[in-house]
Amino acid sequence: MDEFSLIDTIFSRLTTSGSPALGLGDDAALFSPPDGYDLVVTKDMMVSGRHFFSSDPMDLVARKLLRVNLSDLAAMGAKPLGYLLGLAFPDKLDSGLATELSKGLLEDQKEFGIALYGGDTVSGAGKLVLSLTAIGYVEKGQALRRNGAKPGDLVFVSGTIGDAALGLKCLLGDCPSDVALVRRYHVPVPRLALGANLVGLASAALDISDGMIADLGHICAQSRVGMRIEARRVPLSDAARHMLADTPDLLRTVLTGGDDYELAFTAPPENADAIKAAAKSANVPIMDIGMVEKGDALIVVEEDGTSRAWGAGGFRHP
Amino acid sequence: MDEFSLIDTIFSRLTTSGSPALGLGDDAALFSPPDGYDLVVTKDMMVSGRHFFSSDPMDLVARKLLRVNLSDLAAMGAKPLGYLLGLAFPDKLDSGLATELSKGLLEDQKEFGIALYGGDTVSGAGKLVLSLTAIGYVEKGQALRRNGAKPGDLVFVSGTIGDAALGLKCLLGDCPSDVALVRRYHVPVPRLALGANLVGLASAALDISDGMIADLGHICAQSRVGMRIEARRVPLSDAARHMLADTPDLLRTVLTGGDDYELAFTAPPENADAIKAAAKSANVPIMDIGMVEKGDALIVVEEDGTSRAWGAGGFRHP
């Protein structure tokens, strides 16, 4: 099977006919963005052995690739339009692998109301390398940024924190396996509705991909502020709570582990009620876990009241 | 050096401050497309050992990556806005390699008036894998497509054909080396001005990346037509003409070799004068090399008058 047949037989069905983009028969994809909006574009890559296991179900790998990109759109308050896929096969074109990937993409396209706009397929990369560019739109000048947090703002996170990192530990055999935690690692949920609802309310936002502490550190660095976070207020799933009861040291994994794809955001206290309503309307639980402060210190107050400073990279200062 | 330092020190200078996009500090890039236009997006990947030699100068590799994407925009008649870069290092982050790549990108950004919008950097891919998404815009509903060729239309190509394929042969040691031909292989010229000028005049267009015959075959397939091409009218560079005088069999390489990134397009004969003016204003030579016909046969009339049918894939029918 050559590249053209692969596109015809497998990927062309991902360009829904109702979509604003052309099919895959032209040099590039064409779409009509809604007038009066800013466009938001993001690109994330995943490499076999680094970002996923070669033994992982490939439909889940494709869904995670799409979802981590959609999560970046959510973090900016944007609604998704479509995406381009880059697929580098380890050896030669592999229609079985492409079929598995496309199955996952099709499932998630339907869930998120988007379509494949175009892309490229190459071979001989040695490892499976996936690249995805997602495109969305947001009210002009209203995108959520990382640089707007002000001292006195509240710090919020959505959902529960640390599940994906604990799920990865399960997969690596470091913990007893837990289906719910592994699921959080394999299939993150981009918080698109919440992100869109936060436009005009949040002062800064991002998605938690590097780990909660490291990502809050990114807001601190871009906004030139510090934060004081209360560890006991960080929302945990039942599965995570259970695991921490057995192994309290895993709190560090929870606070610094990546791949949650929850939103972390700041907002002035007077917006707190509107923020709660926005979260409720998006059907996503949120929790205020701390406060933005002057300075550049990221402080975590532990359960016993001890305050510790963390570096922006998510590593604790010695 | 970690990913954040790499972005700060090397790639952030590719996001010009005058650009419509944010810097690289946010989850995604943000830009304001001009109202009333369609957007055109394209993504091409390149893999070390497959699309370039690991010994190639890396600034040239980056420029080719950018230019092949811009060529896709040119083929649609679009003007470029910006791009996203995906960079998968073979082993760990390599700031020397990133610097070389960024040098080439910066040079070409200035030439084409565009900026880096965002991207992703990963490591551990085994080979260097590059992915680029280019974004452009075109008058609403006016993009050049592959499916509009009609029987009776003239078939045109820009520039000269076959140079890049002959340049590759030089690099492989199959021909005496020729600097001009090798240059055509390393640094193709996207025909952006010509493409933009063809909007409203050409009935179908694409860029020649797979080889002239294969790409004309794509227009035939998408437009459900055939073509009759006169080999003696295919424009050749002096270097190519010289090489063919010694080795007439290289004509096959010229007709089927890829990587020229010239435009091939069709237009009704009544547009011929306007097309010539459009090419002159873009300062790009063009040549009419044949005619669109009813049916699905792609016929090449050789210099001695023999007509031969070629398959859409660029292989001659037995």
User: What gap in Å lies between CA B3 and CA A210, rounded to an integer?
Assistant: 11
CA distances (Å), origin A115, targets A15, A60, A108: 5, 18, 10
User: What gap in Å lies between CA B270 and CA A47, rounded to an integer?
Assistant: 52
Residues of A in contact with B71 (CB under 8 A): 27
Residue pair A35/B35 in contact by the 8 Å Cβ criterion: yes
Nearest CB to A133: which of B4, B84, B145?
Answer: B84
pLDDT above 70 for A246: yes
Residue pair A239/A181 in contact by the 8 Å Cβ criterion: yes
B207 appears as a binding residue in the annotation = yes
Closest chain A residue to B223 measured between Cα atoms?
A: A25
Predicted confidence band at A219 (pLDDT cuts at 50, 70, 90)? very high
pLDDT above 70 for A34: yes
CB atoms B45 and A72 under 8 Å: no
Residue pair A38/B31 in contact by the 8 Å Cβ criterion: yes
The pLDDT, as a whole number, for residue B29 is 86
Who wins on pLDDT, A299 or B10?
A: A299
The pLDDT, as a whole number, for residue A151 is 98
CB atoms B127 and A126 under 8 Å: yes
The pLDDT, as a whole number, for residue B18 is 47
Q: What is the pLDDT of residues A35-51, one digit of tens each?
A: 889 999 999 999 999 99
With CA atoms as reference, report the closest residue to A114 among A76, A149, A143, A73.
A73
User: What gap in Å lies between CA B264 and CA B207, rounded to an integer?
Assistant: 6
Catalogue all structural domains in chain A, each as residue range(s) with its CATH number.
3-139 (3.30.1330.10), 154-310 (3.90.650.10)
Lowest pLDDT segment from A4-8, A134-138, B42-46, B138-142: A4-8
Question: Torsion angle, CA of B180/B186/B187/B192, rounded to 10 degrees?
Answer: 110
> Residue-wise pLDDT tens for chain B (318 aa)?
787 777 777 888 788 754 545 556 777 888 888 888 999 999 999 999 999 999 999 999 999 999 999 999 999 999 999 999 999 999 999 999 999 999 999 999 999 999 999 899 999 999 999 999 999 999 999 999 999 999 999 999 999 999 999 999 999 988 888 899 999 999 999 999 999 999 999 999 999 999 999 999 999 999 999 999 999 999 999 999 999 999 999 999 999 999 999 999 999 999 999 999 999 999 999 999 999 999 999 999 998 899 999 875 566 654
Interior/surface letters A273-307, b for 16+ CB within 10 angstroms, e for the rest: eebeebbeebebebbbbbbbbeeebbbbbeeeeee
Nearest CB to A27: which of B38, B46, B76?
Answer: B76
> Within 10 A of B305 (CB to CB), how many other CB atoms are there?
8
CB atoms B40 and A28 under 8 Å: yes
The pLDDT, as a whole number, for residue A20 is 47
CB atoms B28 and A127 under 8 Å: no
Residues of B in contact with A79 (CB under 8 A): none
Q: What is the pLDDT of residues A75-132, one digit of tens each?
A: 999 999 999 999 999 999 999 999 999 999 999 999 999 999 989 999 999 999 999 9
Residues of B in contact with A73 (CB under 8 A): 27-28
The pLDDT, as a whole number, for residue A314 is 60
Residue pair A257/A214 in contact by the 8 Å Cβ criterion: no
pLDDT above 70 for A287: yes
Dihedral over Cα of B250, B252, B256, B261: its sign: positive
User: What gap in Å lies between CA A168 and CA A174, rounded to an integer?
Assistant: 9
The pLDDT, as a whole number, for residue A318 is 45
Q: Is B33 at the interface with chain A, CB within 8 A?
A: yes
Nearest CB to B133: which of A51, A84, A207?
Answer: A84
Q: What is the pLDDT of residues A168-210, one digit of tens each?
A: 999 998 888 889 999 999 999 999 999 999 999 999 999 999 9
The pLDDT, as a whole number, for residue B21 is 54
Query: Known binding site for substrate: residues of A?
Result: 51, 259, 315
With CA atoms as reference, report the closest residue to B126 among A88, A219, A136, A57.
A88
The pLDDT, as a whole number, for residue A316 is 62
User: What gap in Å lies between CA A297 and CA A302, rounded to an integer?
Assistant: 15
User: What gap in Å lies between CA B156 and CA B153, rounded to an integer?
Assistant: 10
The pLDDT, as a whole number, for residue B318 is 45
B119 appears as a binding residue in the annotation = yes
